[in-house]
Each structure stands twice: as structure tokens, then as C-alpha cells.
Amino acid sequence: MSRLLLALTLTLAVAPAWAPAWAADADPLAALDHGLRPDVIAPGQAAPAWSLAERMAHHKVPGVAIAVLRNGEVVRAVGYGVRQAGAPDKVDGDTLFSVGSISKMVTAATTLRLVADGRLDLDRDVDDYLKRWKLPASAEVPDPRVSLRMLMSHTSGLGVHGFADYQPAEPLPTLVQVLNGEKPAKNEAVRFKHPPGRLNDYSGGGVTVEQATLEDATGQPLGTLAQARVFAPLGMTRSTFQGPTSATANIAKAHDGQGAPTALPRGWESFAEPGASGLWTSAGDLGRF
């Protein structure tokens, strides 16, 4: 269970508190000592002045990484707490986190770079590119036509909101098994819930079709495409869709909702659909992105 999402939420919550007072020599992280606030403050309610340490304890979060940007540049990337509850290893700005659905933004950026290079067309039917799998026709959608634009804007009509993670001892399905909902995949098959283009309906399944489209059109895995078109140009040296190995250093380990380590013994989960949820990155790299 990733905790970087909370760090991003805290960063957004604290930004209004320090933004008016920013100066060239000001410490942009000072507000974390007393400036965190809830998303909503009711009329007449006094605004609390939480510290980051208090919020981490409240949410049972062992470690947080935060990047601060000024004028589009990363000025600070720091960590608080530890990478695994009960262990001494501290989080820093380069600690690798599993960032869940933030993956979708990087997948979209990779898609758009391929569009800019003339390798893909945003509005062409993705079935023209797909080789391993095809859009499933149904009584409601007898002749499906879906574009990359629809997949990225969650208007494709395809289902499967999100995906479960895979524990260390569990087999990992192929991308086609994920799309077909075949074991060992844990999800239902990616099928149409609505006709394409009719509704906005968040779909991790649609982003997985986007990933399959990129890979089938280029003959390269998403990780290779993202490395060449996003990570390397931006200097994102701590980012990967391949996932860590036992030799990877400085990893934030998985924890459950009570803050207890999980996915043991190695301490992290795997993802069969990297385009939708399999990115590993650091606060510093995400700031560069």
C-alpha cells in the first residue's frame, strides 16, 4: 500500500500556507512544523495548525517524501520518517515509492510523446494498433471504436475501475490475461460498460488498453518507451515501470491501513498492469516530471 499519495496531499494542503510568504531565502518546508490544515474548514471553525509529524502519527504512516517546486524547478526533495515501520532506514528525497494511479500520468505522457513523434494518432481506432488483444464487441457496442484520446480521458466506456496488487508468492498474470480477466489475474475482464465517448467513467482497464496499444504499435514494453521518452529526457533516474528487485536500494516498503509492514518477506507488492498502477518513483523525480 503506497504512502506517497498522502505526501502529495499534504504538500497540496500546506502550499497555501507558505506560498504568500515565499522569499528567495525562505525555507519552503517550515510550514510543515505547524501549517497543515484539512481540505475543508467549516464556517466558524478555527483552523488547526497540524504538524507533519502529528498527521503521520494520526494516519499511521511510517514515512513520507515531499518535493517542493519553485518556478518549475525542484528546490527541495526530502523525506520524513522511515522506509519500514520498526526499521531504522530513513526516507529521503530519492526513496523509491510505489505511486499507484500516478502511473497513469506518466503513461499518458509517454503516449503523447509517441503521438508527437508520429508513431501514434490520438484519434485513430486503437484496434488498428492492437495485436495481442482486440476491443470486445457486445450487443450494446457491436462495432467498438475507441481512440487513445478516449482512453486517456476515461471516456472509452471500458470498465474495471482499478486493480488489486499481487503479493510476493502470487503468480503475475500477463497483460492479455489481465485484459481477459483470466487467472491468475484478480480482476474481471475489461469490457464495455457504456458506448464509447458517451460518459466520463474512470477506468484503469482503459489505461491498460492504452498500454497494450503503445506496446503493440512499437514492439517495445512500456518501461522501455517511458525510459527513452520521459525518464531520460527529464533526468528521472529513480523511476521505473519494471519494479524493484532484491538488489534495489532505498525502497519504501508496503504497509497496511494500520501502519504494519505487509507483502513480506520482501516488503513490496507487484503489479500486472504497470501503465495503470505500476510506476515506482521518488519525490524528486516526480517533481521533475
The 10s digit of each residue's pLDDT in 214-247 is 999 999 999 999 999 999 999 999 999 998 988 9
Cα(106)–Cα(229) distance, integer angstroms? 10
Q: What is the pLDDT of residue 6?
A: 41
10 Å Cβ neighbour count for 267? 18
10 Å Cβ neighbour count for 78? 16
**Helix, strand, or coil here: 280?**
strand
Cα(62)–Cα(33) distance, integer angstroms? 17
**Helix, strand, or coil here: 68?**
strand
- Cβ atoms of 255 and 262 within 8 Å: the answer is yes
Distance of CA 56 to the CA centre of its chain: 21
Q: What is the pLDDT of residue 152?
A: 98
Longest dimension (CA), the chain: 63
Question: Cis before residue 168, ω within 30 degrees of 0?
Answer: no
**Per-domain residue ranges for the chain?**
4-101+237-288, 104-229
Cα angle 177-269-8, degrees, rounded to a multiple of 5: 110
- Could you name the CATH architecture of 104-229? 3-Layer(aba) Sandwich (3.40)
Q: What is the pLDDT of residue 24?
A: 55
pLDDT tens-place values along the chain, 289 residues long = 444 444 444 443 334 444 444 455 578 888 787 888 888 999 999 888 899 999 999 999 999 999 999 999 999 999 999 999 999 999 999 999 999 999 999 999 999 999 999 999 999 999 999 999 999 999 899 999 999 999 999 999 999 999 999 999 999 999 999 999 999 999 999 999 999 999 999 999 999 999 999 999 999 999 999 999 999 999 999 999 998 988 999 999 999 999 999 999 999 999 999 999 999 999 999 999 9
Q: What is the pLDDT of residue 25?
A: 58
10 Å Cβ neighbour count for 285? 27
Contact partners, residue 184, CB within 8 Å, separation at least 6: 170, 171, 172, 173, 177
Cα(130)–Cα(125) distance, integer angstroms? 9
